Every structure is written in C-alpha cells, then in structure tokens.
Amino acid sequence: MKGLRRAASPLILGLGLFFLYAPIVLLVLWSFNDSRLVTVWGGFSLRWYAALFSNAALMEAAWVSIRIALVSAALATILGTMAALTLTRHGRFAGRTAFTGMAYAPLVMPEVMIGLALLLLFVGLGVDRGFWTVVIAHTTVTMCFATVIIRARLADFDVSLEEAAMDLGATPVRAFFLVTAPLIAPSMAAAFLLAFTMSMDDLVIASFVSGPGATTLPMRIYSQVRLGVTPEINAASSVLIALVVVGLGCAFLLMRRRKPASA
Amino acid sequence: MSDRLRGDGVAGAARPAKERIGKPGRAGLGAVRREFAPWADPAATPLIRFEGVCKRFGDAVAIDNLDLSVYRGEFFCLLGPSGCGKSTLMRMLAGFEQPDAGRILLDGVDQAEIPPHNRPVNMMFQSYALFPHMSVAQNIAFGLRQLSLSKADIQARVDEMLTMVQLTPLARRKPHQLSGGQRQRVALARALARRPQVLLLDEPLGALDKKLREETQFELMDIQEELGATFLVVTHDQEEAMVMADRIAVMNQGRIAQLDTPGRIYEEPVSRYVADFIGDVNLLEGAAVGREDGLWRIACPATGGELLVASDAVLTVGQQVVVAVRPEKIRIDRARPTDVANVIPGEVWDIGYLGDWTTYVLKLAGGETLKTSRANVSRHVVEPVTWEETVFASFAPDAAVMLTG
C-alpha cells in the first residue's frame, strides 16, 4: 500500500504538471513551426517571429500594453506602499477594517465584475475610455497585490529603525526615504514586477474599459484568434509568456531574497 | 576609574543626623562614586522635569501622575520590572509617545508640541536600531547629515566619535559584520554624535554577555563624565543601575517607588517593594512592642522572640511592621554570640557556594527561612558550616531597616 502510494505520487505529480504546462509547451513549440497550418509540423523556423515583428497592428498593441503596464505598475507600487504603511504603522483608526477589506477586495473579486463595475463607473462619469481608463483599472486590481507583498515585508520591519532616524533629526518623510524605502526596496520591486506582468496579460478587464486606440496585446491576440489561429499568434503568445515568466521569476527572487540581517 | 570607585561617604553630608545612629563622623550609605549632588541644592534648576505626567494605553495605566526632576550632568537610572512604565517615560521624553496629562519640560521648554526630530535628545535603542544598509561611519553620520553642517565638519565629528568608541578600523563595515559589543558602541557613537543635551539609553547593556557588560558599564560612566552630558538610562538590571547611576528611580506600576542614590536605595529602602526588588533581603514580619534608647523592640513570631531595630519611625505599640535585613548583614556563628543584640537560632537548610560568596539558608523555629551570606575571604576553611547544623544568626540593630509601607 505504502509502496503503491510512493509509486503513484510522482505519477500524479507528472500528470498535474502535464495538464498545466503541456498546452503552453505545445504553443511555444508550434510557434517555431515552418508550416502555415497550425497543426502540421513543417520543420523549425523563426519566420512567424519575423512576421510578428513586421505586423504593425500587433506591434502597436504590444507597445500600448507595455506602456499601460509600466504606468499602472508604478502607480500600483506607490499606492500599495502607502496602503501597506497605513495598515502596518497606524494601528487602529476609524475605518481600518473597511480599508483593509477594500484594499484586498480585488484579490477575490471576479475580473468580469471588476471590469463591468469600472465600465459603469467610467460611463457614468462620462470619461472617454482609452489608455488612461485601462491604466486606472489595472492599477486598481494590481494595487492590492502590491499591498500584500509590501505589507508582508513591513510587518517584520523593526519600527525602531524609523524611530531612530527621526530621533536623529530626520523628518518622518526623510526617515521614510533614507531608511524605510531602501530596506523595503526589494519588496517594492517585486510588487512592481508582479503588477507589470498582471497588467501585461490581462484581457477581461481591458476589454471592458478600453477604448479606441488603446487595444492591448491580449485584446489584439484574442480578436485575431477569433478569425482563426495563425502561427503568428503562437509566436506573439510565446513572447508574452517569456515576458511574464521573466517578470514573475524576478519578483519571486526578490521576495525570497533574505532581508538584510538587521542590527 | 579608580577615582570614581573611591569615596568615603560624601553624600552623607547633606543628610539629617538620624541616619547616623551611633556612628560619629561622616558615615555614608553605600559607596559614593563622585561628589555630585545638585538635587540636594534647592537653588539648582533641573534640566528635565516631568510634571504630573499621566499615560494610559487603553485601560492600562502606564504612567500615573508622575513628577520627576533630572539635573544637568546627572547619570540617572529608571529601574523597574518590565511593564512598570520606565520605557514609556523615556519614549515620552524622546517624543514617540504623548502624555495624556501633565507636562514634560526640557531646559524649561515644554516639549508637548515638539516632534521627535526637533528635540535636543538622542536615544540609544535597546535593539540598537542600526541602519543595516549603511556602514558604521554612515550610521554615525546620519544624525549629523540632518543638520546643516559642512562635509568636513561631519567627517571630523564622525572620526572623533569613532575614536571615542575605538571603532576607527571598522568604519566601513556594515552592522551585520560586527559583534554585539561593537554594534552597541556604534549605537552609542551615533546617538552621541549630535551632542544631545540628554542621551537616553534603553537597556544599553541588555544584549551583552556578563563580562562585556561589566566593562561597558565603566566605559559608559567614563564617556558620560568626559562629555558632561546628562544620561537617562532605562534598565531592569539593578546591578547595572547601582554601578552607574548617580540617582535611581525605582518604578512600580507607573509610579516612582523610591528616588535616591544607589547607596540609600539599597541601605534605606522606604518600602517592602523596593527592599525586595533591589538585592536579596529577609523580610521579617512583626509588631511593635516598645521603644528604648532610640531602638524599637519588635515582637517577631518567625524568630520566636524579639528584635531590636534602630529606627526613628513613629509607631504605635502593636502596629504591624516588617523588619528588612540584607543577608550579608547577618553573621552566623556556631556559638551563641553575646555582643550582638539580635540573635536568631536556626538550622542550616541550604548552602549555595558562589565562589566569592556563600549563601546559607537557615530554617527557623517557626518554619520560616532566613538567608545569610558571607564573603569567602580565605580559600581554606577548617570545619566549614554544614547542612543540618544548628547555628546562630545575628545582626546589629542598625543593620536592619524598619518598613511600614
């Protein structure tokens, strides 16, 4: 029985990994396919990557996505840091529970709902949808992840370091920039990368709140797929996957990096 | 160093005669480390004043209507168990906590509206709170950088501080590359670099091992004397407070239980709490019987007889009191001594050999125990006192302190 379990567990693990990653591996493999037919292997080729980079519409969408991701990740990191500081440093204040709930709500809320809610908000306010509405939407969602990451770091941050800085004549703002910020920088960078990758691969929310001229890469890919999967899309997806993997990998390494031995 | 340890009871000069019972001349209590007693001078103005300060955390009272004066150049210790409010008091002076009521004056200036970064005090944190991303020199320079000083001035002051704490060769190290004792010195240098009017030290030696702690105590005293700065130390370690302080405030539940020189705190505690908190003590309960020749006769059931205690206390006959006697003030003999007023027979119950001292716990007739100790002045003892032996503990009337509180 025990032996069986021991033999079965790698098998189960293998099956799990297979279901999770085989489609992605296949997609990457097919992106190197020389054939125009997506399901027939015609030899190794980089022609779809070449075609991808000369596809103006896709490249434009990629550029839009990158800009949105950069801006929203920066905003999410700043707001996340502020939220995390408020939650860890200011003890109890009126509305703290409500604030915690609101800051963390997007973690569990279905994306469709967030997208729809934001769409209704923007329509209600009469805001023209486009680049900035997507930025706002992505900031809203990714901010809570940034808050979680930075708050975890602040929770085991020795408050007396900040007090020492103030005791030595630094104003609270200077104390933050001279002492706190350098020490929580790795978690802020991790938060930024996570927010960046989440923004890069979001389709649902962007489709709700985007407008003319602000088509993101996932939106462009999705609309092309509806006309049929081309190897070019495989290549675009592979590039996106690579970007996300690198981003998340860095975020993981930054979060795992041991905090400097505090004195 | 030896100058400070010498002393022949100068503090006794300002004290009333009642404390020198039967002893002519300049009798002082305990050792006196230096001639310095501004608190005894009614004309002296204190540097730090707490006036009716209260602080509450939720329902818990941390500081209860506390008044306290600390004088310029004083080495002052706040001593008490954890949770007695001593750290809160210090944090209020640094500006990290605000009093709920009362005022804190520093050099005559009310500190209420002054944020921590503008107060002329600096603090050495218990955890040292060294900035881990900065080198030793950068840590020391941090406070100076917040002042409008030239680069050359900052460098000069940092060098001076490094020399003072003997860390010049380690200036470029990061805190995690230092030993505990070295970190402690960086923290001290960093806090002193701005030349604060008052240096606050929160358990400054708490993280050091015993040997290093003893050395550092004297180093701190030397530095304090050299700079002429006012040091306010928070500690739970009575030995630390006794060695370093000019005056000690023993705190209990947000109040000052006793405020006095180390010698008087030890030799003349005002309450059971203080007597018990500082050092070892035997507390013998009894009732006043009568007075003769400036001595009170106390009926003490534990010793099965009466004790004579030198005291000016005003008691009514029959009043319940506690007689406090320190173990080292009690002598033990095999034969009943005839030259001492108070003799208590007992059986040796426990012996604790500490090397320099040996502690004997005697079981008295009434079942209570009495702790005595004696210095091991010679290496060889012929027929040492041993377990279950009947001995006679004795002490003079002025070796005991009468406590009514």
**B385 phi and psi, to 5 degrees?**
-60, 135
| pLDDT, greater one: A181 or B207 | A181
pLDDT of res. B103: 95
- CB contact under 8 Å between B131 and A171, yes or no, is no
Alpha helices in B278-383 (DSSP H): none
Does A158 reach chain B within 8 Å, measured CB to CB? yes
The CATH code of the domain at B280-403 is: 2.40.50.140
CB contact, 8 Å: A174 with chain B? yes
Check whether A221 has a pLDDT greater than 80.
Answer: yes
Is A32 a residue whose pLDDT tops 80? yes
Q: pLDDT at residue B9 above 90?
A: no
Q: Which of A227-241, B133-147, B378-392 has the highest average model confidence (pLDDT)?
A: B133-147
b (16+ CB within 10 A) / e for A179-199: bbeebbebbbbbbbbbbbbbb
CA distance B181 to B199: 19
Which tens digit of pLDDT belongs to each residue from B347-367? Answer: 999 999 999 999 999 999 888
What mean pLDDT is predicted for residues B315-319? 90
Q: Are A133 and A118 in contact (CB under 8 A)?
A: yes
The predicted pLDDT at position B8 comes to: 38
Most confident of A87-91, A104-108, A127-131, B175-179: B175-179
pLDDT (mean) for A196-221: 90
> Which chain B residue has its CA at the smallest distance from A262's CA?
B132
Q: Which of B235, B189, B231, B181 is nearest to B211 (CA)?
A: B181
Nearest C-alpha neighbor of B141 from the set B172, B181, B96: B172
Q: Could B176 and A179 be called an inter-chain contact, meaning their C-beta atoms sit closer than 8 Å?
A: no
CB A261 to CB B115 under 8 A?
no
Picking from A92, A167, A174 by the largest number of B CB atoms within 10 A of its own CB, the best residue to mutate is A167
Could you say which DSSP state residue B398 is in?
G
Nearest alpha carbon to residue B350 among B364, B360, B341, B340: B360
Q: Which residues of B touch A (CB under 8 A)?
A: 94-96, 115-118, 121-123, 125-133, 142-143, 146-147, 175-176, 178, 183, 186, 190-191, 194
A145-158 per-position pLDDT tens digit: 999 999 999 988 89
Q: Residue A85: pLDDT above 60?
A: yes
Q: For residue A165, which residues of chain B lie inside 8 Å, CB to CB?
A: 131, 142
pLDDT in the model for residue B12: 36
- CB contact (8 A) between residue B129 and residue A170: no
Farthest-apart Cα atoms in chain A, separation: 70
Closest CA to A237 of A116, A85, A99, A61: A61
The answer to whether A170 faces chain B, any CB pair under 8 Å, is yes
The whole-number pLDDT of residue B26 equals 41
Whether B25 shows a pLDDT value over 80: the answer reads no
How far apart are the CA of B184 and the nearest CA of chain A, in angstroms? Answer: 10
When comparing pLDDT for B139 and A217, which is higher? Answer: B139
Mean local confidence (pLDDT), A232-256: 84
Contact check, Cβ <8 Å, A167/B123? yes
pLDDT at site B308: 92
Work out the minimum CA distance from B59 to partner chain A, whole angstroms.
15
Q: Rounded CA gap, A194 and A200, in Å? A: 10
pLDDT for B178 beyond 90 = yes
Question: Which residue of A157, A158, A168 to mutate against B (max B Cβ within 10 Å)?
Answer: A168
Written as one letter, the residue type at B182 is: Q
Residue A107 has pLDDT above 90, yes or no: no
Residues of B in contact with A89 (CB under 8 A): none
The C-alpha R_g of chain B, in whole angstroms, comes to 24
> How many CA within 13 A on the CB side of residue A2?
0
Tally A–B CB contacts below 8 A. 80
Tokens of A82: 């502020």
In the predicted structure, residue B328 carries a pLDDT above the cut 90: yes
- Say whether A165 and B94 touch across the interface (CB within 8 A): no
Domain coordinates of chain A in residue numbers? 53-256
* Set of chain A residues whose Cβ sits within 8 Å of the Cβ of B182: none
Q: Identify the residue with better confidence: A47 or A132.
A: A132
Structure tokens at A111: 């994306």
CA distance A222 to A219: 5
Higher confidence at residue A103 or residue A158? A158
> How far is C-alpha A37 from the geometric centre of its chain's CA atoms?
32
Distance, CA of A71 to CA of A194 (rounded, Å) = 13
Name the minimum distance, in Å, from the CA of A72 to any CA of chain B.
Answer: 29
For residue B16, pLDDT beyond 50 = no
Nearest residue on chain A to B122, alpha-carbon basis: A167
What region, left, alpha or beta, does residue B79 occupy, with left being phi > 0 and alpha being psi -120 to 50 degrees?
beta
Distance from CA of A190 to the nearest CA of B (A): 19
Residue of B nearest to A162 (CA): B129
Q: Quote the percentage of chain A above a pLDDT of 70.
A: 96
A179 at the B interface (CB within 8 A)? yes
The pLDDT tens digits of the residues spanning A87-101 come to: 888 777 888 888 888
Residue B19: the pLDDT is 38
Tell me which of A158-162, A207-211, B31-35, B285-289 is least confident.
B31-35
In chain A, which ranges are continuous DSSP H helix? 2-31, 47-53, 56-89, 96-108, 111-125, 131-155, 159-167, 172-175, 181-200, 204-209, 217-225, 231-256
- Rounded average pLDDT over B42-64: 92
Residues in A touching B127 (Cβ below 8 Å) = 158, 160, 262-263
Interface membership of A161 toward B (CB under 8 Å): yes
Per residue in A184-194, pLDDT tens? 999 999 999 89
Determine the distance in angstroms separating the CA of B117 from the nearest CA of chain A, rounded to an integer.
Answer: 4
Give the total residue count for chain A: 263
| Contact across the interface for B131 and A261, Cβ inside 8 Å | no
Per-residue pLDDT, B22: 36
Architecture of the B44-273 domain: 3-Layer(aba) Sandwich (3.40)
CA nearest to A182 within chain B: B133
Cα separation, A175 vs A158, in Å, equals 13
If you compute the radius of gyration of chain A from its CA atoms, what whole number of angstroms results?
22
Phi, psi for A171 (deg, rounded to 5): -65, 160
HEC letters along B13-32: HHCCHHHCCCCCCCCCCCCC
- For chain B, the average pLDDT equals 88
Segment B83-93 shows an average pLDDT of: 92
**Residue B251: closest CA among B45, B66, B96:** B66
State which amino acid sits at residue B311. Answer: S
Closest residue by Cα to residue B195 from B220, B245, B160 = B160
The ranges assigned to domains in chain B are 44-273, 280-403
Measured distance CA(B19)–CA(B398) in Å, rounded = 9
**CB within 8 Å: A263 and B176:** yes
A172 CB near a chain B CB, below 8 Å? yes
Q: Is pLDDT of B271 > 90?
A: yes
Contact criterion met (CB < 8 Å) for A168 and B143: yes
CA distance B35 to B57: 40
Task: Please give, rounded to a whole number of angstroms, the shortest distance from the CA of B122 to a CA of chain A.
Answer: 6
**Chain B nearest C-alpha distance from A208 (Å):** 45
- pLDDT band for position B13 (cuts 50, 70, 90): very low
Q: Judging by DSSP bridges, how do beta strands B369-375 and B295-300 pair with one another?
A: unpaired
Q: Kindly determine whether residue B117 and residue A158, on different chains, have CB atoms separated by under 8 Å.
A: no
pLDDT over 70 at A224, yes or no: yes
Q: Which residues of B touch A167 (CB under 8 A)?
A: 94, 116-117, 121-123, 191
d(CA B376, CA B79): 30
H or E element at residue B52: strand B48-57
Cβ pair B129:A163 closer than 8 A: yes
Would you say residue B183 has pLDDT above 90?
yes
**Confidence category of residue A49, pLDDT binned at 50, 70, 90:** confident
Domain boundaries A53-256, corresponding CATH code: 1.10.3720.10
Q: Considering CB atoms only, which of A158, A171, A261 is closest to B117?
A: A171
Distance (Å, whole) CA A106 – CA A142 = 8
- ipTM (interface predicted TM): 0.82
What are the angstrom distances between the C-alpha of B254 and each of B47, B78, B269, B278?
Answer: 22, 11, 18, 18
At B287, is the pLDDT very low, low, confident or very high (cuts 50, 70, 90)? Answer: very high
Q: Could you report the per-residue pLDDT of B236-265, keeping only the tens digit for each?
A: 999 999 999 999 999 999 999 999 999 999
pLDDT of residue B15: 36
Residues in chain A within 8 Å Cβ distance of B186: 263
Q: Is residue A38 pLDDT above 90, yes or no?
A: no
